[in-house]
Amino acid sequence: MIHRFEGPAPVRDGSRALWRPSRSFESRRFAVAAKREARQIPRGFSLLEVILALTILAGVMVVLGEVARQGMESARIARDLTYAQTICDSLMAELASGLIYPEIVDQAPVDEICDPAQTGWVYSMDVESTEIEGLLAVRITVSQALPPEKRPVQCSLVRWIQDPDMTFNATAMQE
């Protein structure tokens, strides 16, 4: 039969008796030490850690906001540039088909715009003679009528066409 002692139990080691604490004493000592360590372990974040995390989060949000703003600005410029190219190409097609006469125009408003949200477009037309008789170099420039600080978009196309006056004169001479 094995007895368990609650108090200290003598242990014989050779010729001397040594005192060793019982298991219940050991477990009580462990319990007290565990409670003491539990009080020392922080159960949450310190104020410094929270402030540091919020500062990092705010910095990341500022950077992401700036990236989003630049992305929106680039998208706006790309959209406006595409629209300016479409208007410029349309005006050049009207010129090539003879619907408009090649003459010098400065900052004239664009009449027909497909998208009502796109307003404030103007075009200019420069007509220059070339080295070859009977050909004209026509430059059409489409731009937004905005102040320079708003970075207006501008598109230019150059096309060589027959001089309508020369074509008309040649037809009259043949008759």
Residue 68: its pLDDT value, please?
97
Question: In 3D, which of 152, 154, 151 has the Cα closest to residue 139?
Answer: 154
**Could you give the CA distance from residue 166 to residue 163 in angstroms, rounded to a whole number?**
5
Question: In angstroms, what is the C-alpha Rg of the chain?
Answer: 44
Classify domain 68-174 by CATH number. Answer: 3.30.1300
**Could you give the CA distance from residue 66 to residue 75 in angstroms, rounded to a whole number?**
14
pTM (whole model) above 0.95: no
Would you write out the chain's pLDDT as a tens digit for each of its 175 residues? Answer: 555 545 555 555 555 555 555 556 566 667 666 666 666 665 788 999 999 999 999 999 999 999 999 999 999 999 999 999 999 999 999 888 888 888 888 988 887 666 667 778 999 999 998 888 888 899 999 998 888 888 889 999 999 988 887 765 555 555 5
Question: In 3D, which of 127, 122, 133, 131 has the Cα closest to residue 155?
Answer: 122
**Beta-carbon contacts of residue 106 (< 8 Å; ≥ 6 apart):** 124
Residue 66: its pLDDT value, please?
97
Residue 123: its pLDDT value, please?
92
Tokens linked to 5: 């002692």
Q: Which residues of 158-170 are buried (b: 16+ CB within 10 A; e: fewer)?
A: eeebebeeeeeee
CA end-to-end distance (rounded Å), the chain = 142
Residues β-bridged to residue 17:
12
Long-range contacts of 163-170 (CB under 8 A, 24+ apart): 163/102, 163/129, 163/134, 163/135, 163/136, 164/98, 164/101, 164/102, 166/133, 166/134, 167/134
